[in-house]
Amino acid sequence: EAQTTDILRLEDVTKQFGNVTAVDNLSFSVSEREILGFIGPNGAGKSTTFDCVSGTMAPTDGEIYYRGENVTGVPQHALVEKGIARTYQTFRPLNDRTVLENIALSQMPNSLFSFADFRADTEQRAREICEQVGLGDVVDQTPDELPHAGMLRLEIGRALGTDPDLLLVDEPFAGLTSDEIDRTADLFTSLREGGMTLVVIDHNMHGLLDLVDRVIVISFGEKIAEGTPAEIRDDPTVQEAYLGG
């Protein structure tokens, strides 16, 4: 109902695991076609926030709105249909399938993984995604043959298979060289140029601040800073959260 161009809005979202408050009254918005950086030290609650937004788990409290619709607690498969996709920090591709098949099968999350479903348009779209994420030359390899950077891009490709409008990417730069970071950042920029909105998690600021429009910083589940990359870079509260943890 709200008059807003926000694609995503969190209102006082809390997620508790027993005594642990992983996400603590967190509120923020994401604008259409924005690239938002979502950073914080390890254990700050970044992945848990993605879990709540993507429907992997329901928040304990608070509301999540997607394009103005309250989607709190809506299961993941329904949110995928609405256009929300995510990557996982730890993931297990199908190692008995090729790169191409892994991406093709991601377009059919409800299929029985039967090749009867492997239609020509699915394969064509999977080839396009492989090219887009830089795996065009290794479509016939299996995931375990890929270098680390290739594995991370395969996970992004699997998320792209569901044709998202909002892509949540969990630590896509982990363990990458600066050249590989630049390449992944270029991919995100081109996805945004194609109309996508992205939220990108990183546990530090390397690589991220050059890419994003805006940054949210969380620590112990709470938002401690929000602003442009320049504002965040010089924010003493942010530096303290990283050094003091």
Total Cβ atoms within 10 A of residue 207: 20
Residues 38-67 that bind ligand ADP (CB under 6 A): 40, 42-48
Distance, CA of 181 to chain centre: 15
Binding mask 202-241 for ligand ADP (x = CB under 6 A): ----------------------------------------
Q: Is residue 47 at the binding interface for Mg ion, with CB under 5 A as the rule?
A: yes
Looking at the Cβ atoms of 40 and 93, the one nearer to ligand ADP is 40
**7 neighbors 66 (Cβ within 8 angstroms):** yes
Residues 88-107 that bind Mg ion (CB under 5 A): 89
Could you tell me which residues come within 8 angstroms of residue 172 by beta carbon, excluding any fewer than 6 positions away?
87, 152, 155, 156, 184, 188, 200, 201, 202
Looking at the Cβ atoms of 21 and 141, the one nearer to ligand ADP is 21
Number of H helices, E strands in the chain: 9, 10
CB of residue 167 to ligand ADP, shortest distance in Å: 17
CB of residue 169 to ligand ADP, shortest distance in Å: 13
CA distance 168 to 54: 8
> From the list Mg ion, ligand ADP, none, which binds 43 (C-beta under 5 to 8 Å, kind-based)?
ligand ADP
**76 neighbors 157 (Cβ within 8 angstroms):** no
Part of the chain binding Mg ion (CB under 5 A), chosen from 85-93, 95-103, 217-225, 233-241: 85-93
Looking at the Cβ atoms of 26 and 133, the one nearer to ligand ADP is 26
Question: Which phi and psi (to 5°) does residue 119 adopt?
Answer: -75, 165
CA distance 180 to 155: 15
Strands 214-219 and 222-227: antiparallel
User: What is the full DSSP assignment across 41-71?
Assistant: STTSSHHHHHHHHHTSS--SEEEEEETTEE-
For ligand ADP, how many residues bind (rule: CB under 6 A)? 11
> From the list Mg ion, ligand ADP, none, which binds 22 (C-beta under 5 to 8 Å, kind-based)?
ligand ADP
Residues 3-32 that bind ligand ADP (CB under 6 A): 17, 20, 22
CB of residue 149 to Mg ion, shortest distance in Å: 19
CB of residue 155 to Mg ion, shortest distance in Å: 14
Applying CB under 6 A, which residues contact ligand ADP? 17, 20, 22, 40, 42-48
